[in-house]
Chain A
């Protein structure tokens, strides 16, 4: 069975997409969890500011999410564009 060039390229693109999204999901998951844990700590110390603290947590998590979205974009590009 001879492997054709186009077939090999497709195979590499699929593998790359999976690895990109898989590894890219680790960092945001852990980082967003840390942000949420610290927000809970802050609310525990100062419950009056719960609204402000939750809002800040969400903004921080959104920024931390960005690299996960980059991975998703690269995975989708590898699957459907290149």
Chain B
């Protein structure tokens, strides 16, 4: 039984909205739960600091929540907009938009919970450093949100662009691939950025004198940890904005979908790994600030090596888009 275009658009919008909010709820819930667990642990050790610890837990959880609020916004837009499309490409665009923010919110949600938890523990241990810990937590958590913002941008472009002129056959796969590249690519960098910020909050509480070096190196580490998500965003932009020639064959479309999956999945490991590498560097700079230079050098070399497989994934994705 054939269905008309408008029916398929509704199907894609509702399915996309469900995917966006379903996947998008995973990360924030885990991150906030972790923060609450750490806050309880800190309160058990130091019940006197209940005011600062409780406040810091709530602020940290609010930031972790933002990733899933992005997913909620996209889900609402998909559920309640009237899409008047003239092409079947929009079906793939709406599904891709839901996948992008759904996967993209996982990493940032989990990641933002780590610095908030470490800040709560630190305030229990070192109440005098509460102000500095809050600042550091806010900076660290804010940087953790950037991968989910990349995914949000991709979702908005996929929802609001006009795809009526592009050829249906390869373009449907390109738009789904763009959703996967941007969404899956944000998972590793989101969690990795959180691991770095957690190490820095822990380090400041342990050794307050090292605060300047620790915050600087945390920002450096987090910035490099974002690169896999940026590669994912780059590949998804190429997939959205490149001009394709119409075809009847299935292989060109599969190449584009595969490019998106390759970059998206391939960015998870390096993002996470760079975060772990950088967290080791930041943690030990806090304990041994005299050797900041030596530690930063080894940390950067280690992160560069961890980045390599993300670069391989990008190369294969670009070959799939431009060569085969």
Q: Which B257-283 residues have C-beta < 8 A from chain A?
A: 257-281, 283
8 Å CB interface, A18-73 against B = 18-19, 21-41, 43-45, 47, 50, 53-54, 57-58, 61-62, 65, 68-69, 71-72
From the candidates B257, B288, B298, name the one contacting A57 in the complex (CB within 8 A).
B298
Contact A22 B276 (CB under 8 A): no
Given contacts A7-B251, A14-B254, A79-B324, contact A22 B262 (CB under 8 A): yes
Given the known inter-chain contacts A37-B279, A43-B294, A44-B287, please indicate yes or no for A14 contacting B273, CB distance below 8 A.
no
User: Of A57, A62, A68, which one neighbours B312 at CB under 8 angstroms?
Assistant: A68
Distance, CA A74 to CA B323, complexed state (A)? 17
Residues on B with C-beta less than 8 A from A31 are 273
- Nearest-Cβ distance from residue A35 to partner chain B, whole angstroms: 7
**B160 at the A/B interface (Cβ < 8 Å)?**
no
Q: In the bound complex, do residue B280 and residue A28 qualify as a contact, i.e. CB atoms below 8 Å apart?
A: no
Q: Which residues on the B side are within 8 Å of A79 (C-beta)?
A: 316, 319-320, 323-324
Q: Interface residues of B: mostly helix, strand, loop or mixed?
A: helix
User: Chain A residues near B228 (CB, 8 Å)?
Assistant: 29
Query: Chain A CB within 10 Å — which of B272, B273, B301 has the most?
Result: B273
CB-CB under 8 A from A35, the residues of chain B are 277, 302
Q: How far is the CB of A47 from chain B (nearest CB, A)?
A: 4
* Binding-face segment, B17-25, B29-37, B56-64, B303-311: B303-311
Whether a CB of chain A sits under 8 angstroms from the CB of B248 is: yes
Chain A proximity of B151: nearest CB distance (Å): 17
Which A positions have Cβ atoms within 8 angstroms of B?
A: 1, 3-4, 7-8, 10-12, 14-19, 21-41, 43-45, 47, 50, 53-54, 57-58, 61-62, 65, 68-69, 71-72, 75-76, 79-80
